[in-house]
A = this chain, B = another copy of it.
Amino acid sequence: VDIADLTRNAVAVLPEGELERKLKLGRPLRVKLGIDVTAPDVTLGNGVPLRRMRAFQDEGHIGVLIVGDYTTRIGDPSGRKSERPIIDPEVIDADAQRYFESASKIIDPERTELRFNSEWLSKLDFAEILRLTRTTTVARILERDDFHKRFGANEPISISELLYPMMQAYDSVAVKADVELGGTDQTYNLLMGREVMAAYGLEPQVALTVAYLDSWDGTGMSASRRNYIGLSEAPEEQFGKAMRIPDSLLPQWYTLVMERDDVPADPLEAKLELARFIVRRSHGDEAATQAEDHFTRVVREGSAPEDVPEAVLAGDGEVHLPALLVEHLGVGSTSEARRLIAQGAVKVNGKVTSDLDLPRDALDGALVQAGKRRFMRFRAA
């Protein structure tokens, strides 16, 4: 067994030596991952732990995806006293099916169990919940980073909120998890799963945490912010978005998405390879080729004419875009230029810009477009 492959990109594998021991048990391990099926799509960020699940599956282990439908059905814990919103079980089932199909771009569906935690949580009575909640202490649960901060800041934490990590831990009991995967912010919950499993007389799971993927806006990729690439998004969308990431993210994306560390020296070539990988994994070779063609034709070259006029940027320091547009692109006034910028009608290298002042470097060699027809390429002096 190549344990380096199983734990690639892992930030922590806890406790030390435990995974090695479990791998020697000679039986398929059960590798758990909790998923949020209410998100519109499975993202490349979700793909990071899913890749780990796949690595285990390739070694003969079992993936167990946990749909937290029980909590979804009873509503948001942060909701005040009000009645709980009842979410239609059929909607959750359809969402879960959609998630499973997207995730199957990465995991092996034949070696995956899709489980709904209402299966066991709906059967717990008060006596069993007391048994469950006897396994940890108030002090221990307040160690969790978010609770700790809120408690310290005298922000209210409802008792019900303390029960959510315990429910997640009980999921591990119910599916007899050997390994639980999660982001680094899940470390506490994954370790609580160990404690609860031990209290229930089960062998505690290994906690395997992975890093989060940063998106082009500099924050973590998230389905709730619109800064993600979905595993089931259209090939052209995936390709175009991948090409949009800043050069500085290339090493991280190569590591977490492609699981490679040989980033090509040329950023454009590196992004093209990355974009091809993403589309190919989700949609296959042909789709990747077509998406690249589309990108080259429409996005990269845009509808810019063959012979775009060039201009030299005079002066030094930041460039004031409205003034540039008036001087070189025939826009009538700086106020009209500001309006065009506000409307999203001004692009630099095919990307809409909302900045009024741009670094001179960013304009060296750049294609600037105002509205549909006015183009100019600039060179720094």
Q: What residues make up the interface of A, taking CB atoms closer than 8 Å to B?
A: 70, 73-74, 77, 79-81, 84, 121-122, 124-127, 129-142, 151, 154, 156-160, 162-163, 166-167, 199
Inter-subunit contact B138/A138 (CB<8 Å): yes
Inter-subunit contact B166/A159 (CB<8 Å): yes
Taking CB atoms, residues of chain B closer than 8 Å to A154 are 139
Task: With both chains docked as a complex, state the minimum distance between the C-beta of A196 and any C-beta of chain B, in angstroms.
Answer: 10
Inter-subunit contact A126/B70 (CB<8 Å): yes
CA–CA, A122 and B130, complex, Å:
12
- What are 26 pairs between A and B in contact, CB < 8 Å? A70-B126, A74-B131, A77-B130, A77-B134, A80-B134, A84-B127, A84-B131, A122-B127, A126-B129, A126-B167, A129-B129, A129-B160, A132-B160, A133-B163, A134-B160, A137-B158, A137-B159, A138-B138, A138-B142, A138-B159, A139-B151, A139-B156, A141-B159, A159-B162, A159-B163, A159-B166
CA–CA, A157 and B140, complex, Å:
9
Taking CB atoms, residues of chain B closer than 8 Å to A74 are 126-127, 130-131
CA–CA, A159 and B69, complex, Å:
23
Main secondary structure, interface of A, reads helix
Taking CB atoms, residues of chain B closer than 8 Å to A160 are 129-134
Task: With both chains docked as a complex, state the minimum distance between the C-beta of A205 and any C-beta of chain B, in angstroms.
Answer: 18
CA–CA, A167 and B129, complex, Å:
12
Taking CB atoms, residues of chain B closer than 8 Å to A140 are 156
Residue from the list B77, B81, B84 in contact with A199, Cβ < 8 A: B81
Residue from the list B84, B127, B159 in contact with A133, Cβ < 8 A: B159
Are A133 and B158 also in contact (CB < 8 A) when A151-B138, A151-B139 are? Answer: yes
Q: 5 tightest A-B contacts by CB? A: A133-B159, A133-B160, A74-B127, A134-B160, A137-B156
Inter-subunit contact A136/B159 (CB<8 Å): yes
Task: With both chains docked as a complex, state the minimum distance between the C-beta of A159 and any C-beta of chain B, in angstroms.
Answer: 4
CA–CA, A140 and B160, complex, Å:
13
CA–CA, A126 and B119, complex, Å:
12
Task: With both chains docked as a complex, state the minimum distance between the C-beta of A198 and any C-beta of chain B, in angstroms.
Answer: 9
CA–CA, A241 and B94, complex, Å:
73
Write the chain B residue with the least CB distance to A138: B157
Are A125 and B127 also in contact (CB < 8 A) when A133-B163, A138-B151 are? Answer: no
CA–CA, A84 and B167, complex, Å:
20
CA–CA, A167 and B77, complex, Å:
19
CA–CA, A196 and B122, complex, Å:
23
Task: With both chains docked as a complex, state the minimum distance between the C-beta of A138 and any C-beta of chain B, in angstroms.
Answer: 5
Inter-subunit contact A136/B124 (CB<8 Å): no
Inter-subunit contact A163/B130 (CB<8 Å): yes
CA–CA, A158 and B195, complex, Å:
13
CA–CA, A264 and B138, complex, Å:
53
Taking CB atoms, residues of chain B closer than 8 Å to A158 are 133-138
Task: With both chains docked as a complex, state the minimum distance between the C-beta of A276 and any C-beta of chain B, in angstroms.
Answer: 46
Write the chain B residue with the least CB distance to A117: B126
Inter-subunit contact A122/B126 (CB<8 Å): yes
Inter-subunit contact A157/B135 (CB<8 Å): no
CA–CA, A228 and B155, complex, Å:
45
Task: With both chains docked as a complex, state the minimum distance between the C-beta of A125 and any C-beta of chain B, in angstroms.
Answer: 6
CA–CA, A137 and B166, complex, Å:
17
Taking CB atoms, residues of chain B closer than 8 Å to A121 are 126
CA–CA, A159 and B140, complex, Å:
10
Besides the known contacts A124-B125, A132-B160, 12 further A-B residue pairs in the complex with CB atoms under 8 A apart: A73-B127, A74-B127, A84-B127, A121-B126, A124-B126, A126-B163, A131-B160, A133-B160, A137-B157, A138-B142, A139-B154, A141-B159
